[in-house]
Structure 1
């Protein structure tokens, strides 16, 4: 049997994870967060970072205990119960299936701001069409395109922050160091938490490195460390970037909150830079959408192959391209919902699934290490009970802080999962089929 070579170091895995999170998304959602928090975007990212760090600790614990692909699904299934593991996988499926929609919707909003004569729906359809074709042709082509375009968006992000600093320094009335983006008169904690609930969208994918287990040296040590470092570095990037952008544009007034960074880019860099920024952001959304659709189709294929979803539709590969065409096309079809949704609701809807999965992973640590462990000292009480409980409280708080429509849609998705699980298990009398992610 063929095996992947263990060649990836800690640095390589961390770089993969940071790239997968697509840091430039902090600019893509800045206007929405500024409007939600009343101009305290960095404060929202601080709250989100703290919540994600506790959850990342739980992911790291479970990755050390079960160094397998599948992440939340595998951890909950093995530590708690196969049926609850299915619901964790169902929550993750929400993320995977609808994430491309949100990504392409953000990109389309910015292109519509730059070219208002072209309807936003045209850009959404263009994103869906081009990305679907590339993923059908093959993942190797997708990976090669991703590698080149990822560098472009990082350079644009650095340039944007640099111009924000230059813009602030050019105004004598604006100090470069200020607590105002974090604390100011009239700030309201519920609004900050609502913003943090949306800001967590930027962190999605921090656990994606669990898929590299078979290619990583000493995965029981490297993968947990990488998960924590990715979350910490990502949080610092988001906080620092939003801080300088907030200083450069403290107002919450925008022509369009969905594409606010386009307006800010013009103010700090003029017409030339706004064009460069637009290219960088669209490149970031394109590469992120490419990866998200490929990952979603991989998950759907695994579920179809293992009998969780209809095998005739999802468990087949194209004879010509060797890719799960049916799953890829379905992801593109789901993304058509972007024609009827806004960025806030779409990102919040996705975060509902993420927060549900995060809550169950935190619970898995308690079941596996605390309830299933023999040692109950102070250290174990802190690591395996207190920290995961804090992670659960944080993610549940963020979940109830989401947009009300997103909560309704999320609960509907969860209810459908329970109904489908009942059908799949003959009225919950038998265990659901087990997914094998390593072979997907």
Structure 2
């Protein structure tokens, strides 16, 4: 088979269906809403509204969130249809491999891997900033060498970020049912913390802080005007990656045909409402310039208004709630890495399940990388990089809707959930993602290009020769069906 044919060889969806049978089907709509909201309402809602307002938008940060939400919503509809038709581990990686071919699936999977790895480090770093803000009124302060990432304020390693990733990894090794229960509880606590901030903070809003709502554009910068709103939307787009983490766990859904669309769309709608409310309250309490380079604006704003105890409670619950984002992203990332091993795009040992039906090797990989990145790289650097991989995956999934619709009812199942206004909405989802991507920082684009070059090298030096052909994949699957059944019986 020629190189071009190998690159474009499509995976038979029965292969993924049978391979993922060993994963336990335990997750419900409630679990997926918790995973989605745990990721969407994570570090970003307690950090980015203030930072983006100061750097790009002023009070118009609300518009940035709405613009990003519209684009994310268009893509979320595509994700919901894909996940209900093809409920496989690996989400966009597996879908694109089915509808476009293995090479294109690898490119999307490689982009998503960057998203998950960076997101784990990003959330851990943001959690560390909030913990340090929580203990500062008590007079406790870590030495700078252990409080910040390398190169920031004399930092060497962010020890709190390191410990956080390690704790979440321990929770995940207990199994999906136990980690989901923890996530569900933490999401409820986090929602209560957000509502508390909105209610208490609203009493301190000063109307003059909203004027001008859209500051004038400063020539030569990306602050103010619609240019600032656009730059802000590109920066905070990472806030909406939660529904992608839901899709990555679709192989473990009890009834994916119903649970996936409800979890994906429901978490996005609820998350957007909370983002708008928090942003309006935050920029109303203090002039947006006060939030420059402040990675803990919610707690800071409450303390400045004299609500020290409430600030401590909200920040403490927020810190606990951030664990849900880490649970979701590490679950999603480990399932993606497992998918690479399942398909032999990476050594097949990466796709092994342990006796508890967990992808233990993949979990170890994402734990180690998360510890290194979260402990070393600074928060703002990580924030710039997350959206690149997400947006590339979103563009591919939007385009994949067209071949999916042509094949539904023929060689692919008909999706129980069908995205509305086809073929217009998938095109708008693609264009919206492209526009947001174009607004990212130049450095983020350069780093993403380097990441993709590495991915292409891995594909042509390993994956293309080790990944089985579709026929071989099917035979290998059939030979392991008895083993999978035995594992489920145990």
Q: TM-score, normalised by structure 2?
A: 0.75
Q: Pick from 330, 334, 346: which aligns with 2:369? A: 334
Q: How far apart, CA to CA, are the structure 1 residues paired with 2:257 and 2:354?
A: 35
Q: 1:35 to 1:287 in 2, by over 3 A?
A: same
- Output aligned runs, 1:274-289, within 5 Å: 274-289=311-326
Q: How far apart, CA to CA, are the structure 2 residues paired with 1:157 and 1:3?
A: 34
Structure 1 gaps of 5+ residues are 375-379
Of 291-300 and 135-144, the range deviating more from structure 2: 135-144
Q: 1:136 to 1:67 in 2, by over 3 A?
A: closer
- Contact 2:243 2:263 (C-alpha < 8 Å) held by counterparts: no
| Corresponding position: 1:191 with 2:228 | yes
Q: Pick from 244, 266, 284: which aligns with 2:281? A: 244
Cross-structure match for 1:367: 403
| Corresponding position: 1:235 with 2:265 | no
Q: Pick from 176, 179, 199: which aligns with 1:162? A: 199
Q: Pick from 87, 92, 113: which aligns with 2:112? A: 92
Q: How far apart, CA to CA, are the structure 2 residues paired with 1:134 and 1:174?
A: 46
Cross-structure match for 1:393: 431
Q: How far apart, CA to CA, are the structure 1 residues paired with 2:77 and 2:325?
A: 25
| Corresponding position: 1:135 with 2:172 | yes
Of 347-356 and 113-122, the range deviating more from structure 2: 113-122
Give 1:373 deviation, angstroms. 11
Q: 1:108 to 1:222 in 2, by over 3 A?
A: closer
| Post-superposition CA distance 1:58-105 (Å, at most 9, x none) | 223333443444321222222222221121111111122222111101
Q: 1:383 to 1:346 in 2, by over 3 A?
A: same
Give 1:428 deviation, angstroms. 11
Cross-structure match for 1:117: 141
- Contact 1:7 1:216 (C-alpha < 8 Å) held by counterparts: yes
Cross-structure match for 2:82: 62
Structure 2 gaps of 5+ residues are 1-20, 148-157, 218-223, 411-417, 478-483
Q: How far apart, CA to CA, are the structure 2 residues paired with 1:162 and 1:135?
A: 34
Q: How far apart, CA to CA, are the structure 2 residues paired with 1:15 and 1:146?
A: 6
- Contact 2:107 2:455 (C-alpha < 8 Å) held by counterparts: yes
Structure 2 counterpart SS, 1:402: coil
Give 1:289 deviation, angstroms. 1.4
| Post-superposition CA distance 1:284-323 (Å, at most 9, x none) | 22232133223322332332344222234x244566x775
Of 150-159 and 105-114, the range deviating more from structure 2: 105-114
Cross-structure match for 2:391: 355
Q: How far apart, CA to CA, are the structure 2 residues paired with 1:397 and 1:334?
A: 30
Structure 2 counterpart SS, 1:384: coil
Q: How far apart, CA to CA, are the structure 1 residues paired with 2:32 and 2:173?
A: 26
Q: 1:24 to 1:434 in 2, by over 3 A?
A: farther
Of 257-266 and 351-360, the range deviating more from structure 2: 257-266
- Contact 2:201 2:282 (C-alpha < 8 Å) held by counterparts: yes
| Corresponding position: 1:403 with 2:437 | no
Q: How far apart, CA to CA, are the structure 2 residues paired with 1:112 and 1:341?
A: 17
Structure 2 counterpart SS, 1:330: helix
- Contact 1:362 1:392 (C-alpha < 8 Å) held by counterparts: yes
- Output aligned runs, 1:246-325, within 5 Å: 246-254=283-291, 256-268=293-305, 270-312=307-349, 314-316=350-352, 323-325=358-360
Give 1:362 deviation, angstroms. 0.7
- Contact 2:36 2:328 (C-alpha < 8 Å) held by counterparts: no
Q: How far apart, CA to CA, are the structure 2 residues paired with 1:236 and 1:188?
A: 23
Q: Pick from 34, 41, 45: which aligns with 2:61? A: 41
Cross-structure match for 2:10: none
- Contact 2:345 2:459 (C-alpha < 8 Å) held by counterparts: no
Structure 1 counterpart SS, 2:187: helix
Give 1:393 deviation, angstroms. 1.6
Q: 1:291 to 1:325 in 2, by over 3 A?
A: same
Of 131-140 and 190-199, the range deviating more from structure 2: 131-140
- Contact 2:47 2:294 (C-alpha < 8 Å) held by counterparts: no
What is the aligned length?
Answer: 424
Q: 1:289 to 1:2 in 2, by over 3 A?
A: closer
Q: TM-score, normalised by structure 1?
A: 0.83
Structure 1 counterpart SS, 2:192: helix
Structure 1 counterpart SS, 2:79: helix
| Post-superposition CA distance 1:304-346 (Å, at most 9, x none) | 344222234x244566x77544433332332222344232321
- Output aligned runs, 1:174-185, within 5 Å: 181=213, 183-185=214-216
Provide the alpha-carbon RMSD of the alignment: 3.7
Cross-structure match for 1:343: 379
Structure 1 counterpart SS, 2:242: coil
| Post-superposition CA distance 1:219-261 (Å, at most 9, x none) | 4455335433332232222122212222122322237422222
Structure 2 counterpart SS, 1:307: coil
Q: How far apart, CA to CA, are the structure 2 residues paired with 1:288 and 1:99?
A: 9
